[in-house]
Amino acid sequence: MIMLVDVQDASVPFDRIATALDEEGERLGVNIRIQREDIFNAMHRV
């Protein structure tokens, strides 16, 4: 699943969001990854 979210106005830094999502994923038994949209688009451009 891919989810696009806007974290521009988040009250915590991007790396803390990534860490929190990774920890929650471990708790749930799933992988949760977050990356910047520009990096995602560059990686998936044909």
Alpha-carbon span 5 to 34, nearest angstrom: 10
Domain locations in the chain as residue ranges: 14-43
- Identify the pLDDT of residue 25: 96
Q: Which of 2, 6, 14, 12 is nearest to 44 (CA)?
A: 2
- Identify the pLDDT of residue 11: 96
- Identify the pLDDT of residue 12: 96
Quote the pTM value: 0.74
List pLDDT tens digits, range 1-46: 888 899 999 999 999 999 999 999 999 999 999 998 888 888 888 7
- Identify the pLDDT of residue 40: 84
